[in-house]
Copies of this chain bind each other. A is one copy, B any other.
């Protein structure tokens, strides 16, 4: 098996659910964002980078107002649009994702351009794992073709219990 480690220096899939060197995880994600912005001529401004850092503090999803509160703690008293604009930028360019089920946001853990991943959301510890969507996307595309539907974007989210929390609750 031993697939090579391509996701920003983190694990091979459900990094969010596995114990790992998260400090490294964060650094890698920030550096990746910096690099990709530089390459694409995007401006990773201080607010935007700070919001990404806040999201990267854990693999749990944060609401826009959670992010805003964290910004507020740091001096200024930012208003909602500040957080929403930064989040919109991060989502638009694939550095973060919006979790529809939670009205919340997570940092991306799968270095790539914009993509429509599959998310697994732990209802206990709130961690969100991002998985490649290839098989699911194929099925959806097949169904869509059958009925003549032209798919733009997809939302695929599963809510349940992560390995860690299963172990705990089974005790």
Contacts and interface: CB of A to CB of B under 8 A. Distances in A.
Interface of A: 13-14, 17, 100-101, 118, 120, 122-123, 129, 131, 135-136, 139-140, 142-144, 146-163, 166
Count copies of this chain in the complex: 2
Given A14-B147, A154-B157, 19 more contacts: A14-B149, A100-B155, A100-B157, A120-B149, A123-B152, A129-B147, A131-B143, A131-B147, A135-B139, A135-B143, A136-B136, A136-B156, A144-B160, A149-B161, A151-B158, A151-B159, A153-B158, A153-B159, A156-B157
A105 to B, nearest CB: 14
B120 A144 contact: yes
Contacts of A129: 147, 149
Contacts of A151: 120, 158-160
20 contacts: A13-B146, A14-B148, A17-B149, A100-B101, A100-B155, A118-B140, A120-B151, A122-B149, A131-B143, A135-B142, A140-B156, A147-B163, A148-B163, A150-B160, A153-B158, A153-B159, A154-B157, A154-B159, A155-B157, A155-B158
